Amino acid sequence: MDKNQAKERIEELRKKTEYYAQKYYDEDNPEISDFEYDMLIVELRNLEKEYPEFISKDSLTQKVGGTVKEGFEKVTHEVPLQSLQDVFSIEEVEEFDTRMKQKAEENGIKEVSYVVETKIDGLSAALEYKGGKLIKGATRGNGLVGEDVTENLKTVKTIPKEIPDKIDITVRGEVFISKKDFEEMNQERQENEESLFANARNAAAGSLRQLDSKITQSRPLDIYIFNVQKIEGKEFSSHYEELEYLEKLGFNVNPVRIPCKNIEEVKKAIQKISDMRENLTFGIDGAVIKIDDLKFREILGSTVKVPRWAVAYKYPPEKKETILKDIICQVGRTGVITPMAILEPVKVAGSTISKTTLHNEDFIKEKDLKIGDTVVIQKAGDVIPEIVEVVKNKRTGAEIDFEMPQKCPVCGAETVREEGEAAVRCTGIECPAKLYRNLVHFVSREAMNIDGLGENIIGQLLDNKLIENIADIYTLKFEDIASLKKNGQKFAQNLIDSIEKSKQNDLYRLITALGIRHVGGKASKLLAKKYKTIDNLAKAGYIELQEMDDIGEIMANSIVEFFEQEQTKDLIKKLKDAGVNTETLEEESEDERFAGKTFVLTGTLESFSRKEAEDIIERFGGKTSSSVSKKTDFVLAGEEAGSKLTKAQNLGVTIISEEQFKEMIK
């Protein structure tokens, strides 16, 4: 490679690593594996070493990745939270030891001892205590400036709010999510058709960097402390001594810390951690080798990015070959159909893998997977098994192509993949796989508004086989409901009354409750107003629907497909038989004073709820929108109005107060 080629490759690698670092550190959404990213950094570092004239301070070999997320206060670290120099072979560890011995000899130090620790796969954070009380917590950020996440860190149960010694101390640790908790989180997200976390590290980072600390509190975060950044009034001679002191103070200290007298013991410690890796409750991505002598550390110092007294040995990802025996499809609660690989069982990174998700149709095509293929499996982030590639030279010709089902494997309804989406969905409203989610939506406040029929009660009704479809709500008996709670007679009567009351709801509520894709509350009102009965709506054609204001092609297609389903026809008949109203009740207002006008609501109103104000506007022929644009006619601004008010002012949109709105609706 000549100088010009080297320069081009260095620039290309910098762009790539910056992009992948942003995805990893700032967006908590990695696009490549840690190993692939590490290899790009290694290549960049080697080229910069060979051609030092092209080294730039902006290169990720010279700085820590990560920035401060908008919405958090900035925190300048008094002691920088540096990264570590990665090494990928035992030879490189031995070279590190040789450098340390040379430096020790130059400074009259006779022995070089180490501490080897697990490199926890999480998000680095600093905790600052004054007089023994926690006063601040911050993320690493770019190493010099991080994010103030004090309130979020206070929700982590293993972080002490106060320590027994009334001292000033700043410690550094790694916030993480255990393997078990991570698997449970992703299992729940898969059931809810939410995107899966790529790995435990990004799940932890995303959880800690939430602007709402209640979300952080709901996530199973933990922390291991591994360093004293700064301490007043105490001195230590060794790192190991520091860690033992931190444990006495009540900190959750990294449990795997092995003191080593020489390089041979270091190598044994690296192997020991490798052997125990599969049984650890938390994920790791390496072993950290640190000089134990703190005075020697001071002599060695640091570069801008990394300390000279430590390296991180990265374990290579374990890969195994196995056979893709079959691909089956699972139907989630929202109807998304997910293909699953059934594998010849194989042991990878300590656990036996017999199946793994294939995500969606596009993933299968991208990997060119066929039933019967020999495939390579690895564990992403030491937790999630994934298919990396197909071993195509082992194909025999007997392999079978896979196609996503055109009928739901659970209920037999048509499946659909809409333009711009990766997911294939079941369209059946009575599909047992979707029943729980459909019931929760059907009874919700915005839909049929059945008070008392919450998620927990719906779960009990299903578990006890008291309901098997949506219409069964209207056949529930008093004694069945009362049996769900101790002394449940009053609860049962209230719920029966609420169910009975819901039969008299207006048609728009029933349309909303049916959960037609892309059809929300506003569209339901438009449809009820135009078609008057559910039967008229069921007969509506695609062309006439998409010609309506605010009903586009996608929504029109979704409505037509929904009412063509036999399951839909069956449910509507059952609801009619149960006495549920299927016609418009509200008389049309002759007052169209807001016809053609669009309102945006912002801030808190005193006299109305947001929904009440929207209903009034719509009753007078107006429309409401969630965003301000040049087409907005009025912005109704309540207390603590935010960015929408600012945008309206900038665009010259008419802004009205609550009092002015009251005058307009007299």
Query: Could you give the residue numbers annotated as active site?
Result: 119
Backbone torsions φ then ψ of 292, nearest 5 degrees: -85, -35
Question: Rounded distance, CA 225 to CA 227, Å?
Answer: 6
User: Would you tell me how many other CB atoms lie within 10 Å of the CB of residue 212?
Assistant: 10
Question: Rounded distance, CA 486 to CA 229, Å?
Answer: 55
3-state secondary structure 250-296: CCCECCCEEEECCHHHHHHHHHHHHHHHHHCCCCEEEEEEEECEHHH
Going by C-alpha positions, the residue among 120, 121, 117 that lies closest to residue 266 is 117
3-state secondary structure 415-462: EECCCCCCCEEECCCCCHHHHHHHHHHHCCCCCCCCCCCCHHHHHHHH
Give CA separation, 507 vs 409, 533, 544, 566, 583, in Å. 32, 7, 20, 21, 5
Question: Rounded distance, CA 366 to CA 358, Å?
Answer: 11
- Give kind and range of the element (H or E) at residue 323: strand 319-331
Question: Rounded distance, CA 533 to CA 536, Å?
Answer: 5
CA angle 558/564/566 to nearest 5° reads: 125
Backbone torsions φ then ψ of 324, nearest 5 degrees: -80, 95
Question: Rounded distance, CA 208 to CA 212, Å?
Answer: 10
Q: Reduced to 3 states, what is the DSSP secondary structure of residue 354?
A: strand
Q: Reduced to 3 states, what is the DSSP secondary structure of residue 11?
A: helix
Give the length of the chain.
Answer: 666
From first CA to last CA, the distance across the chain in angstroms is 80
Say which amino acid occupies 101: K
Pair of tokens at residue 458: 């719906």
Say which amino acid occupies 634: F
Sequence-ordered alpha helix ranges (H) in 289-409: 294-300, 361-367
Strand pairing of 74-76 and 123-130? unpaired
* β-bridge mates for residue 313, sequence order: 87, 287
Q: Reduced to 3 states, what is the DSSP secondary structure of residue 175?
A: strand
